[in-house]
Structure 1
């Protein structure tokens, strides 16, 4: 019976029933049991179901209206308010539905302070200072602050080996063009950031896929490649891997670094997600500092539009070569963005926002495990994306690409494993993202849509059409 799950809560709570009713409505919105614009039962009927006095239910709904949870309209009765998961995106494009975006904490005080600081920097800086060409790699202040920030994860970071660049993707483009020569291959994980696939295709670089398991890259695969093929470098994402969420264990990091040192193979450590966990194993740059290009940025914990990346080169000579490659491919990072980010780092707002985003990611990751755990979903405690393995179909129904397409029409950011595959054997699975502009209420409805799609795949004749 609808709403009967409220009965136990109402009986066991110390709060008066009329005060608890709004909380129960809010919880059902977050969990996807209620959807925006869904009509609520007549109050007398609900009072009977809940075994409450009619006046108590009226008072409870009045408080829910004051909080903006529900509304009433003549001829319709009461209905649920809130955003709808399937509304068109604000930019009028579906591009965001394939991107892995961090959650937006718009109303958090730390975010408000971030915006105030940004406005103060722009208004307090002579405009022409922000519109001139600048030395590539950022100003001395930019590099110093970037090194201090990176030192939280790579203690040996120094300004002399740090460059500030316009986004991680631009750094990967420059590094690939710098390190990979004709006839050589770039080793990558069998599931890899799609942007790296695009870079390799554009530059005509051959990718050499290395097998993975649930813990990440298999070191033996890397050594076998080093023995059998001319390897230019190894690119990998060791923390909260995109899309599988794997975090490479310490022992494997030691093994990979040892192999790289024995064969003199540069390592490209893409740590885009490494800021999100409260703690991670030591970086590859700790184990092979003379070979590792360590890359970090703000796109996966603050926002993709903040096109700033920090890269730590393995030596001053490598720093100079990379600066030349970046200058040729990107010219320079935006002085506007650099000035704002430097202020955020120096004044502490960046750390405040990162802590708040970590907490929000923790809530969303927990929700994904609660809702999809029985389906084998893989998550990390402070991540905002998940990997959902799907059963391999015998009859061609419900393949991941079909399900992902159907979910995206509902506004659920789902991407099939084929988008990440480098070995032409993509696993049946979906990367799910609970970031971007999704509210907590939206997250519950998005996961309900995923559960419904899985159920249709199991029982219905037409997989993900819905």
Structure 2
């Protein structure tokens, strides 16, 4: 907030009559939030500056900020000031544009692996019945391809069944179909307060309501979720419990068990997005194992093999639920690509997929170590196998997450501000950094060194831009 905004506040206060000044100031803050003048994490003028500019006594300005805090508009940190907290969470369809900067997978620069991928793909293509693959296919994949998908699923779900397994054209399109089928009018989708941005975009497109649930360092909190269930409006629960995007947190077994128990008691369907699970090191049991009668489990190849391979594997709670979602999935995506299905099946069959995952994990660990060398490790949340990390900014940082992310992107560092993931309009002071994509380990080292310097010395950047 700059000097001109402070002067505007003073003019507005002069035109206020019959209302206590402390309430008028809180009302002005609320109006500026609603109009978009003030955004989450914007810093408010110090109390003394506001008192001097407005001619009010210091006690009145203290009371004004206290009123704003009471309304949930701002938060204050001793020694660093007061900041906009954001609008209270509202159960309304989200609108507007969304930050969809992709979390690009690491591309291991291993010539023998690249040749292995090519040779495997060429082998299956040479054996294809070309015209058969150019025809419409039954949704869910051919029998042979579904059997390979089932073998992949059984790595996480030992009891997975063929008749409950479907091949879909990517996790995102699968989420579109599931949300269409499960969230009926008047119902909401429960999500964590930080979530994969695609969920926000899908909900906005479909006119759906998201119900944000508070989270801690282990993921979604149980009591707020149960309170939401008691209201009777929850249509489904969406979770990304393993190497969560954006925080990289893998939810503990105990938290999973308690959340699953609540879902079972209230018969709430669970959409389990396990996109990163094959990159994780011995993750806890999936929700689909803890609550198989409720869970729609999704995994795929985009985060462990490449986003250009739009192949997802869906395991439904049962035959009846399979038929229920088929219509929605078919309506939104028609079918998966037979070419892609066959190639992916071959990569699973001959071990190429496993070799790729091992290479990604090795490179991920090396790049994460580089990041830890350059950044304050106390402020990093990260996971071996992931290709993104969650960086919490110091409370007294001169950077806002939006400004920092934009500046880092100008330096070719893949950064996204926390607001892109926030569902409760109260984004934390943090950004997501991705170290995947078509860059080498040395390029990542150079970029993160520059990024660390910018984060640590923001005044140098601001000085150079004025």
Task: List per-residue Cα deviations over 1:396-435 (Å, max 9, x = no partner).
Answer: x411111111111111100000000000001111100000
Matched residue SS, 2:376: helix
1:423-462 paired onto structure 2 within 5 Å: 423-457=424-458, 459-460=459-460, 462=462
TM-score (norm 2): 0.76
1:244-393 paired onto structure 2 within 5 Å: 244-374=247-377, 376-392=379-395
Aligned length: 369
Shift of 1:393: 5.1
Q: C-alpha distance in 1, partners of 2:214/2:382?
A: 20
Matched residue SS, 2:358: helix
Tell me if the contact between 1:406 and 1:464 (Cα under 8 Å) persists in the aligned partners. Answer: no
Shift of 1:460: 3.8
Shift of 1:97: 9.1
Shift of 1:146: 0.4
Q: C-alpha distance in 1, partners of 2:341/2:102?
A: 24
Match of 2:227 in 1: 224
Asked if residue 168 in structure 1 is aligned to residue 171 in structure 2, the reply is yes
Task: List per-residue Cα deviations over 1:11-57 (Å, max 9, x = no partner).
Answer: xxxxxxxxxxxxxxxxxxxxxxxxxxxxxxxxxxxxxxxxxxxxxxx
- Shifted more, 310-319 versus 222-231: the winner is 222-231
Task: List per-residue Cα deviations over 1:324-346 (Å, max 9, x = no partner).
Answer: 21101100011111110011111
- Shifted more, 96-105 versus 181-190: the winner is 96-105
Match of 1:406 in 2: 407
Task: List per-residue Cα deviations over 1:199-248 (Å, max 9, x = no partner).
Answer: 00011100000111122111122111111341000001001110011110
Shift of 1:108: 4.5
Q: C-alpha distance in 2, partners of 1:97/1:208?
A: 20
Tell me if the contact between 2:100 and 2:198 (Cα under 8 Å) persists in the aligned partners. Answer: no
Q: C-alpha distance in 1, partners of 2:260/2:178?
A: 19
Shift of 1:447: 0.9
Over 3 Å counting, the alpha-carbon distance change for 1:269 and 1:178 in structure 2 is same
Match of 1:122 in 2: 125
Shift of 1:107: 2.3
Matched residue SS, 1:275: helix
Shift of 1:371: 2.1
Tell me if the contact between 1:171 and 1:326 (Cα under 8 Å) persists in the aligned partners. Answer: yes
Shift of 1:461: 7.0
1:131-280 paired onto structure 2 within 5 Å: 131-280=134-283
Tell me if the contact between 2:100 and 2:197 (Cα under 8 Å) persists in the aligned partners. Answer: no
Matched residue SS, 1:415: strand
Q: C-alpha distance in 2, partners of 1:311/1:326?
A: 11
Q: C-alpha distance in 1, partners of 2:465/2:441?
A: 25
Q: C-alpha distance in 2, partners of 1:317/1:324?
A: 12
Tell me if the contact between 2:281 and 2:384 (Cα under 8 Å) persists in the aligned partners. Answer: no
Tell me if the contact between 1:366 and 1:381 (Cα under 8 Å) persists in the aligned partners. Answer: no
Mark the runs of 5 or more structure 1 residues left unpaired by the alignment. 1-94
Task: List per-residue Cα deviations over 1:150-188 (Å, max 9, x = no partner).
Answer: 101111112111100000000100000000011111000
Q: C-alpha distance in 1, partners of 2:125/2:465?
A: 48
Tell me if the contact between 2:236 and 2:271 (Cα under 8 Å) persists in the aligned partners. Answer: yes
Task: List per-residue Cα deviations over 1:108-161 (Å, max 9, x = no partner).
Answer: 423321111112222332322221111100001111110111101111112111
TM-score (norm 1): 0.76
Over 3 Å counting, the alpha-carbon distance change for 1:438 and 1:180 in structure 2 is same
Q: C-alpha distance in 2, partners of 1:231/1:144?
A: 34
Query: Aligned-pair RMSD on alpha carbons?
Result: 1.9
Task: List per-residue Cα deviations over 1:80-124 (Å, max 9, x = no partner).
Answer: xxxxxxxxxxxxxxx999210110014242332111111222233
Over 3 Å counting, the alpha-carbon distance change for 1:262 and 1:421 in structure 2 is same
Shift of 1:443: 1.1
Shift of 1:317: 0.9
Matched residue SS, 1:462: helix
Matched residue SS, 1:111: helix
Q: C-alpha distance in 1, partners of 2:464/2:220?
A: 31
- Shifted more, 224-233 versus 200-209: the winner is 224-233
